[in-house]
Chain A
Amino acid sequence: MATHALSPAIPAYRGGIYEWLTTTDHKKIGIMYVINSFLFFLIGGVFALLVRTELAAPGIQIFQNEHVYNESFSIHATVMIFLFIIPMLAGLGNFAVPLMIGAPDMAFPRVNALSFWMLPLGGMLLLLGFLTPGGAAAAGWTSYPPLTERGPLSSPGPGQDLWIVALILIGTSSILGGINFLVTIFKMRAPGMTLFRMPIMVWTILVTSVLVVMATPVITSALVMLFIDRNYGGSFFLPDKGGQAILYQNIFWFYSHPAVYVMVLPAMGVISEVLPVFSRKPLFGYKAFIFATAGIGALGFSVWAHHMFTTGAVFLPFFSLMTFLIAVPTGVKMFNWVFTLFRGQLTLSTPLIFSVGFLTMFLIGGINGAFSASVPIDFALQDTYWVVAHLHYVLFGGSVFGMFAGIYYWFPKMTGRMLDEGLGKIHFVLMFIGFNLTFFPMHMLGIKGMPRRIADYASDAGWNDWNLAATIGGFLIAASILPFIWNVFISLRNGKIAGDDPWEGNTLEWATSSPPPPYNFDRLPEIRSERPLFDARHGLAAHGGHGGPGDEEAPKLLEEGDHDDQGPGDAA
């Protein structure tokens, strides 16, 4: 096909590993983000398995002491949040956004490379904590003072300092990435790509980047204050020296609640690309979805204190109300997705299955979240396994299923080869069962009063069965990763050749070759709606004028109504 971009004569350059280490190409950087994040996913997963093994039955002691257990769950959460979910979604965005808006690269390609390379550095600093006396950070991913202040009974060792420095580095990487995304989206769009013709994925990355740029510096300020407290005799968070421990929680959650949306909005964007393609319909309510995304982003800044209900230091009615309110735009999105599927011509491919996994699991995570938003219930469930269940249904059931949908969806574009559908479905089934077996019992454990972050429990507390089920589920999740790795491994060598557009996609990345040339596009189809490739396939692009044969053909095509499609994309 003519869309195959011809490779120009490339001047002599050093290939192989040197090219990857020095690249400023957003696609290569995006792929490195994905690989790096996946490696940290494996590391975080090992810590999760250690935690689950410890809790499988009462009395088990697999660690030399319980402090190592504390290190394990702290590093598990930190790695999964800051080195897996956030950068994995940023990586998918890095790969997809310039392609989707018809740009040759990000606005600042070298800053983009800098953003990426801070991540492995930050991750190494974090994990180096295990080699220091006293071990890695062990105060949970929230690292509340005064537990994290320096002191013989709190956090004496350098592990906590390494945690702080690592998070500042990773945060700076996020901020630079967010700025890069925003300038790219505002300034680098192809002719015709108005804001309201951008793919939903680009919109969610846009809102996410606003959250990153506005919220991440705030946690940086909390971290530097904690660092000053620990190392230079400061007294920000030390009550005995005139500071306030709650102050840290306020500043921390002012970032970390919007961070929840940083972790889920791009995954919502991914499935909003996948669902229309595999149900052969435009997204139901394109603009409603965008306004809902912006609404979630705005409301996200006004709900942080619902993490602090039991401190007695926050205005409960306000934060409870705002938290319930944020369910409204999220509910709008559920309607968008469900009605996109409704009466669609579904192709049950792996990306679609993972997206439906997102829909169902995220729905549970939203509903049990609404329970926690209610102040009296939260007082009962605060710091129990209910909260662990909720956050995993949102972050794993939501974000992780969404990002696997994205990986299966864009793997052909990244590599030029298809992933194997059979192995993909085995991956999904194992992961879906394992996920629910791990995290659904945690609801029961929470209601039965099991606190988070404990290394052992009494055998007569009534928690044994659910804990064993959760541990078995955890190993099932680990097993589900094996077919995925095998799939990637064999597909890179022998996978079906993808071609430019294996899914009959709607968005611009499918208009160039797979993998795309370094500069992305030789030519772009005309952009008249949020589905330029659909328009090009069905001759609707010329409908808006510009002459050409499309002028007469377009109405006829509409009447023929092939594929049950619903006409121009802006009909939503």
Chain B
Amino acid sequence: MTAEAPAIASGSGGVAHADPHAAASGHAQRGISNPILGMILFITSEVMFFSGLFAAYFATRAANQPWPPDVFADILDPLGPIIIATIILITSSFTCQFAVWSIRRGDRRGFNRNIAVTFVLGIVFLIMQAFDYTLLFGEGMTLGSGPFGTTYFTLTGFHGAHVFGGVLMLGVLLYRGMAGQFSARHHDAIEAVSLYWHFVDVVWILLFSILYLL
């Protein structure tokens, strides 16, 4: 082990004369940004979390016929208020995307307007879900009323919690947008939150389909 690292020591030959700041910042400047990649991976883990819940739902449903049980035969009406809540959430996904396109053009005012609408629509969805829950409780359906109630409230409850988290993020975006913190070049947070919001929307479409339509 006689060979000391001559190349490094002399600073010649094999040593890349890289700008120390470039090495220290270490960014590969291509591709998606770190926060957006982080959000995509986070959403991946969320997909797996909901996969576990969905798997439990299908396994429980397959073992319990008829589904829904006779007591709750007509309790989940796809044409009731829930269809309005569904339309509201889908609309909010569109307004969220409009907000992204606005800020990409550098249109801060348009961004603020669209993200405010998205924020309000998210809150309306949560209020409607709470309203829906009180109706179901009134009919005697709770977490404890057998497999049907357990799976329904667990799935929609965790979705609602994710909507709530998304509404908080949208609120932060709105606040920061009104403070003028975003621009066409600097808006990773918006892209990341919009990905999350679309994910929450897709989960709801799946939930609505399997809980109310299937």
Contacts and interface: CB of A to CB of B under 8 A. Distances in A.
Interface of A: 1-3, 102-104, 107-108, 111, 175, 178-180, 182-183, 186-192, 213-222, 224-225, 228-229, 232-236, 241-244, 247, 250-251, 254, 501, 504, 511, 519-527, 533, 535-542, 546, 548-550, 553, 562-563
Contacts of A546: 16
Given A214-B48, A217-B52, A536-B7, A525 B16 contact: yes
Contact of A537 (B3, B37, B51, B154): B3
Interface stretch (B115-123, B128-136, B138-146): B138-146
Interface string B31-49: 1001001100110111011
B56 interface: yes
Contact of A179 (B12, B28, B42, B49): B42
A251 B13 contact: no
Given A217-B49, A525-B15, 7 more contacts: A1-B8, A183-B34, A217-B52, A218-B51, A218-B52, A233-B150, A243-B150
A103 B24 CA distance: 7
A504 B28 CA distance: 28
B52 A102 contact: no
Contacts of B51: 218, 221
A165 to B, nearest CB: 16
A215 B48 contact: yes
B74 interface: no
A4 to B, nearest CB: 10
Given A214-B45, A218-B48, A241 B147 contact: yes
A186 B147 contact: no
A553 B7 CA distance: 12
A537 B4 CA distance: 6
Contacts of A234: 143-144, 150, 154
A262 to B, nearest CB: 14
A275 B70 CA distance: 66
15 contacts: A108-B34, A183-B37, A213-B41, A217-B48, A220-B49, A225-B52, A228-B154, A241-B147, A242-B147, A521-B24, A523-B20, A525-B16, A539-B13, A541-B7, A553-B13
A78 to B, nearest CB: 20
Contacts of B44: 213-214
A3 B154 contact: no
A90 to B, nearest CB: 16
Contact of B143 (A175, A233, A549): A233
A306 to B, nearest CB: 19
A242 B146 contact: yes
Which of B1, B13, B37 has the most CB atoms of chain A within a 10 A radius of its CB? B13
A524 B18 contact: yes
Nearest to B47: A217
B86 interface: no
A243 B38 contact: no
Interface of B: 1, 3-16, 18, 20, 22-28, 31, 34, 37-38, 41-42, 44-46, 48-53, 55-56, 59-60, 63-64, 142-144, 146-147, 150-151, 154, 158
Contacts of B60: 236, 242-244, 247
Contacts of A1: 4-5, 8-9
A536 B63 CA distance: 65
Contacts of A233: 142-144, 150
Rank and list the top 9 A-B pairs by shortest CB-CB distance, nearest first. A233-B144, A221-B52, A541-B14, A217-B49, A242-B147, A526-B16, A217-B48, A234-B150, A179-B41
Contacts of B16: 191-192, 523-527, 546
Contacts of A179: 38, 41-42, 45
B144 A243 contact: no
Contacts of A538: 3
Contacts of A218: 48-49, 51-52
Contacts of B55: 250-251
A242 B45 contact: no
Given A536-B15, A542-B13, A2 B8 contact: yes
A332 B18 CA distance: 38
Nearest to A251: B52
A3 B9 contact: yes
Given A218-B48, A232-B143, A233-B144, A188 B1 contact: no
Contacts of B63: 242, 244
A213 B45 contact: yes
B24 A104 contact: yes
A369 to B, nearest CB: 26
Contacts of A242: 60, 63-64, 146-147
B150 A235 contact: yes
A511 B150 contact: no
A535 B3 CA distance: 12
A519 B24 contact: yes
A541 B17 CA distance: 13
A527 to B, nearest CB: 8
B145 to A, nearest CB: 8
Contacts of A521: 20, 23-24
